[in-house]
Homo-oligomer: A and B are copies of this chain.
Amino acid sequence: MAEKPVLPMSKRDLLSLIGSTAGATAMYMAMTSLGQAQASPFKGPLKLDGDAKGASVLILGAGVAGMVAALELSRAGYKVQVLEYNDRVGGRSWTLRGGDTFTELGGQAQTCTFSPGNYINPGPWRIPWHHHGLVHYCNELGVALEPFTQLNYNAYLHSTKAFGGKPQRYGPLQADYYGHVSELLAKAVNKNALTEDVTSEDSAILLESLRSWGALDKNMRYVKGNATSDRRGWAKQPGGGLTAEPVPSEPMTLDTVLKSGLWRGIGGNLTYDHQYSIFQPVGGMDSVAKGFERAVGQLVRLNSKVTAIQQDEKGVTVSYDDTKSGAHLQAKADYCLCTIPLSILSQIESNVGDALNAAIHAVPYMPSIKVGLEFKRRFWEQDEQIYGGITSTDLPISQISYPSSNYGSKGPGVLLSAYTMGAYAYEFTSLAPAERVARTLEWGSQIHPQYKDEFLNGISVGWHRVPWTLGCFGIWTAETRAEHYKNLCQLDGRILLAGEHASYLGGWQEGGITSSLDAISRLHQRVMAG
């Protein structure tokens, strides 16, 4: 199996440039503007009314798209079988714990040696409140959700080019940016520079709102004092008893804030996908897969590598190898719902129509890597009072995410110590796994000096080197979407595709779920129409 060709240079360079200069947050924002990372139109449980008359559907892939289809189609009376390449369900919705082993393209194997209870989600790791489909299935399948700490004012913004490389707390930076913005706009209003844009009545309300929002003083200035320290924090925090009086802190100048570039970290927390409330499954993202497995796991055949998909007027025949026994096998059904990533599907022999075939080959996949490091103790909580949240940095690691569970626990803890896309991801995977961990440790220690003393072990998943997906998610452009998206989603004879690649929610489980529900609804209409 050959590695997928790299992305067209212009796209890759654009994304990697954004990734390297402004961190993963900006990467997500850019993805968003390209239609990759969005929300969900899921409105409620699917109803497939009518008699399926024993029609059979073969589902390829037991990720969330495939499992949702298995659940809903079997409920509607279809005969369902699912073929899955891995020896587990869930696909990219995956959790690594101590004892887990996996082998990447090229044969390099890694074993996770985390302590009991610790884990990393190499794939999806959070669930926005508006991913209604996924939240619905979590509720239905008994998958407990807990808050994911997306924004933590005490996490860091870090740039090697600002503040001498010293990480800055998020809170004061945001407070000072907001304060200066409000002061400047108040000045402009008071200079009558905006009389064409704002009525005098609204100007008065605007000034009142700017004072409130920006913590300005009575002269509409953002200055050192109790009001601004109540946003940015104190030089000496207030307390109890004698000598308890607080000492205000000194705001940064506008010039300092702007030249630092750290304001880039603010916008990412305001995007729809990262707004509170946002969740993670208790115990790891694979709780979602386990929930589906409890419901329809008996329909899944694991260790089944699809080698060919052929259809004719009577049905679909899928050839597959049992990866344990090496046996060559076949499965037949009236219809096939294929959720295999396009990066893989494009290499599987099939007789789909030209339009679908062209669409399958039109979508490149995002290179991406996550590195998880385990440390002896939660020094980020104990030494730095960082409880969950994300530090962003212009280092190749792009971000450090602190665990959103078991706050205050005394044992070893795991940090998502790198999560980056684009060129940096390729650079990472050009190294052997041990070396990736060593580099991550080196880079991260620029932010947390405790890294080297506290390090226990680490593991990395470079998605473009994962044999069964060869990338993190499919990348659509306005052009490819206009030309190929509809063809990718339409029923081709007896074959229908689903997955995050067949959605406007690229890279999110919700894309897989909504695409699957849409696909099986149309499949059901076809069956009902006879």
Q: Tell whether, in the assembled complex, residue B240 and residue A498 are in contact, meaning their CB atoms are under 8 Å apart.
A: yes
Assembly CA distance A388 to B516 (angstroms): 29
Known pairs A188-B185, A270-B231; A242 contacts B209 (CB<8 A): no
Chain B residue contacts of A135, Cβ below 8 A: 385, 408
Within 8 A of B (CB), among A177-207: 177-178, 181-182, 184-185, 187-188, 191, 193-194, 197-199, 202, 205-206
One of A114-122, A144-152, A435-443, A465-473 contacting the partner: A144-152
Does A125 sit at the interface, judged by CB under 8 A?
no
A262-311, CB < 8 A from B: 263-264, 266-267, 270-273, 275-277, 279
Once the chains are docked, how many angstroms separate the CA of A234 from the CA of B40? 10
Instruction: Say if the beta carbon of A230 comes within 8 Å of chain B.
Output: yes
Give chain A interface residues in 494-513, CB to chain B under 8 Å. Answer: 498, 500, 502-505, 510-513
The one of B149, B193, B267 in contact with A212, judged by C-beta atoms closer than 8 angstroms, is B267
Q: Are B237 and A40 in contact (CB-based, < 8 A)?
A: yes
B145 touching A147, Cβ below 8 Å = no
Which residues 220-262 of A sit at the B interface, judged by CB distance below 8 A? 226-227, 229-234, 236-246, 254-255, 258-259, 261
Q: Which residue of B lies closest to A178 (CB)?
A: B270
A373 at the A/B interface (Cβ < 8 Å)? no
Copies of the polypeptide in the assembly: 2
A240→B516 contact, CB < 8 A: yes
Pairwise interchain contact A146-B146, C-beta atoms closer than 8 A: yes
Instruction: Decide yes or no whether A518 CB sits under 8 A from chain B.
Output: yes
Q: Judge whether B40 and A407 touch: CB under 8 Å.
A: no
Contact flag A254-B129 (CB < 8 Å), given A276-B149, A502-B241, A505-B238 = no
A515 in contact (CB, < 8 A) = yes
Residue of B at shortest CB range from A385? Answer: B129
Q: Is there an interface contact between A227 and B194, defined as CB atoms closer than 8 Å? A: no
Which of A31-39, A70-78, A80-88, A447-455 touches B?
A: A31-39
Interface contact A184-B212, CB-CB below 8 Å: no
Cβ of A343 within 8 Å of any chain B Cβ, yes or no, is no
In angstroms, how far is the closest chain B Cβ from the Cβ of A500?
8
Across the interface, name the chain B residue whose C-beta is closest to A382. Answer: B139
Q: In residues 1-45 of chain A, which contact B (Cβ within 8 Å)? A: 29, 32-33, 35, 38-42
B277 x A205 contact (CB < 8 A): no
Does the CB pair A213–B277 fall under 8 Å? Answer: no
Chain B residues, Cβ within 8 Å of A175: 270
A233 touches B272 (CB 8 A): yes
Q: Contact at B188–A35, with CB atoms within 8 Å?
A: no
The yes or no answer to A95 lying at the interface (CB within 8 A) is no
Q: Which residues of B contact A154 (CB under 8 A)?
A: 129-130, 275, 277
A404 at interface (Cβ–Cβ under 8 A)?
Answer: yes
Q: Are B206 and A258 in contact (CB under 8 A)?
A: yes
Contact A38:B238 (CB < 8 A) given known A197-B184, A272-B233, A408-B138: yes
Report the nearest B residue to A260, measured CB to CB.
B205
| Contact between B277 and A387, CB atoms less than 8 A apart | yes
A39 touching B241 by the CB < 8 A rule?
no
Quick check: is A522 within 8 A (CB to CB) of the other chain? yes
Contacts of A209 in B (CB 8 A): 177, 258, 263-264
- Taking CB as reference atom, which chain B residue is nearest A203? B258
Shortest beta-carbon distance, A343 to chain B, in Å? 18
A146 to B148, CA, bound (A): 11
Q: How far is the CA of A490 from the CA of B244 in the complex (A)?
A: 12
Give 27 CB contacts A-B under 8 Å: A35-B226, A35-B246, A39-B234, A41-B244, A129-B152, A139-B408, A145-B407, A147-B147, A147-B407, A154-B277, A171-B272, A177-B209, A184-B188, A202-B259, A205-B259, A213-B267, A229-B272, A238-B504, A239-B505, A239-B518, A240-B503, A240-B505, A240-B512, A241-B498, A241-B516, A244-B504, A277-B389
User: What are the nearest 4 A-B pairs in CB distance?
Assistant: A240-B515, A241-B518, A240-B503, A193-B193
> A213-B267, A240-B516 given. 20 additional CB < 8 A pairs?
A33-B230, A35-B226, A40-B239, A42-B239, A130-B154, A130-B237, A149-B277, A153-B277, A171-B275, A174-B270, A184-B197, A188-B193, A209-B258, A212-B263, A233-B272, A238-B504, A240-B498, A241-B516, A242-B486, A277-B389
